Amino acid sequence: GTSSGGGSSGGKKGGKKEETNWWTRLQKGDIPWDVREFRICSFLPPCLCLYLCICGQYVWFNIGSVDTFERNLETVQQDLGIEVENRLPVVYSTESDGSFLLSLLPTILIIGSLLYTLRRGPAGLGRAGRGMGGLFSVGETTAKVLKDEIDVKFKDVAGCEEAKLEIMEFVNFLKNPKQYEDLGAKIPKGAILTGPPGTGKTLLAKATAGEANVPFITVNGSEFLEMFVGVGPARVRDLFALARKNAPCILFIDEIDAVGRKRGRGNFGGQSEQENTLNQLLVEMDGFNTTTNVVILAGTNRPDILDPALMRPGRFDRQIYIGPPDIKGRASIFKVHLRPLKLDTVLNKDNLARKLASLTPGFSGADIANVCNEAALIAARHLSDAINQKHFEQAIERVIGGLEKKTQVLQPEEKKTVAYHEAGHAVAGWFLEHADPLLKVSIIPRGKGLGYAQYLPKEQYLYTKEQLLDRMCMTLGGRVSEQIFFGRITTGAQDDLKKVTQSAYAQIVQFGMNEKVGQISFDLPRQGDMVLEKPYSEATARLIDEEVRSLINIAYDRTLSLLTEKKAEVEKVALRLLEKEVLDKSDMLDLLGPRPFAEKSTYEEFVEGTGSLDEDTSLPEGLKDWNKEREKEKEETTDEQVILLN
């Protein structure tokens, strides 16, 4: 019994040891499936994929439901006979494995790309080093401060000497204010540069920036206008704060008509925002006093649409008109643009500039620069070592008439019609006193036209009725020639008829050159303008139309009688054109003889009686050292100190 009891007792001890031994075996990697307690624990989370990960004293496994897990755990502990106070406590803690952050990643990327776009887009182009940048800098001005960054000088600007003197004086105001203040004069607040496109307004401002030796701030008028409300006035305030900070300086607003249009035309769309920007500009400009030393320059080719409050003295004290250059101005501009070109050694630059100036009446500075560049391109196209006079003549034809189309195929009938059409123009102009001298006529298509005639108009600003009538007759010469020789008309005279109609309406409506309509003048509508109502009655409009038609008929009948009389000459010129395709003045002299009227063709003849061959570029005494500070004031101060010491 004892041994049995001892065996039984020993069996219990051994069983208990075996019961507690499964945990040690499990830690060593041996899964004790033969132990009952382990088999019961292994089924704690039923219907789940069980896996064990041994990390120190912890066992990791997945559970499907908390309620089921707690219920199974309670059942197992009851089966094992574990007392309530000794049962395992369950503590829950929330831990993340990073899946939540991964789910946020697309949202973070979208927000980041949006912020980057706002920072780099048009609304966020703030200047470096100012403000927070990005969307928060939308109210900052986009103006650029230029210091020694412009290589354009006043020697590169020609053909507008009077405007150059005005601009030089502004620079002199900033450099030597005492010269004017001693006499009680106030420094002008600013000047507005007006004139047709291509006459050199922005170039003059660039030259000012290159020579002023003071900070030059430049901004475009359209940069004040944005889609955000209040941005325009904010940028104006920031611009003038920048100008005051850099004083003395010059502030240049290009294309000011974008922001300076007349107010009161209705508040549709962005109109009210534009008006608010203009109001802020008016306040800032008028808020300057004479001690700030900030000069404001502006440029526009539409001064007629600017607000009167912007143009008044106190804001823009001076209005500087820069028109197309005269023949002397064109010669000076050609000298500037011929300077960097490699010319033929037989050409003299001064003589070439004068000759080209006489061949390019009405050209602006931009047109002249284009002619010189085209000449260089034509020379390079033909692999020439240098640019000769022929290249410049071809460049002038290219700019006036367009690209020559030698490959355009014309039917023989069409070519014949074009030849007689151009011959009609040439002969009519040859025998009309006030018509422009013919320089060249061609039936090689150029641009949109099938024929091309180049004339040499003189520098003239006033025209009489007789002169305008001769010009109309010459323009109608092509249509009349078609009628005489073919008994039919074509669409080739459309451009001629348009010019004749415009001239007739201008004579009657604008210049008061009609007896029935009288000495009155109305503005003709600009191309593209919307005409809602005419400034005259229906009866006057009917009378104007009748007189225009009558004037054109008079010109047509006069041209018809002239070309009928000169029919043989027209045929000579047309046949020679069909043979050679291009006729110059020497060919016309051979065919028609000398022109029966005196004409001017050389530079010297054009400038005769105007005082000098070249334009006057001398400076007044007070502007000799316009961009330098006077040393005289320092010397006077030194002399006074010496006298006091004595």
Rg of the chain on CA atoms, in Å: 45
Question: 320: buried, middle or exposed (CB in 10 Å: 19+, 13-18, 0-12)?
Answer: buried
Element (H, E) at 58: strand 58-60
Q: 546 catalytic, yes or no?
A: no
Give, in order, the Cα–Cα distances in Å from 302 to each of 61, 198, 222, 337: 83, 13, 14, 27
Q: Which residue has the tokens 């250059």?
A: 325
Do 573 and 426 form a contact (C-beta atoms < 8 A)?
Answer: yes
Of 557, 555, 580, 556, nearest to 423 by C-alpha is: 580
> How many Å apart are CA 633 and CA 119, to the nearest integer?
51
Q: How many CA atoms lie within 13 A of 460 on its CB side?
A: 12
Instruction: State in Å, rounded, how far the first CA of the chain is from the last one.
Output: 145
**Cβ contacts of 631 within 8 Å, gap of 6 or more:** none
Give, in order, the Cα–Cα distances in Å from 337 to each of 156, 352, 454, 460: 8, 12, 23, 25
Do 130 and 235 form a contact (C-beta atoms < 8 A)?
Answer: no
Count of CB atoms situated within 10 Å of the CB of 50? 12
> How many Å apart are CA 341 and CA 375, to the nearest integer?
10
> How many Å apart are CA 336 and CA 274, to the nearest integer?
40
Q: How many Å separate Cα 547 from the centre of its chain? A: 43
Question: 630: buried, middle or exposed (CB in 10 Å: 19+, 13-18, 0-12)?
Answer: middle
> How many Å apart are CA 424 and CA 303, to the nearest integer?
41
- Which residues face 194 on adjacent strands? 300, 321
Strands 58-60 and 53-55: antiparallel
Of 488, 503, 495, nearest to 420 by C-alpha is: 488
> How many Å apart are CA 508 and CA 523, to the nearest integer?
11
**Cβ contacts of 469 within 8 Å, gap of 6 or more:** 554, 555, 558
Tokens of 576: 């020679």
- Please identify which of the residues 166, 422, 547, 615 carries the catalytic annotation: 422
Phi, psi (degrees; rounded to nearest 5) at 590: -65, -40
Active-site residues, by number, are 422
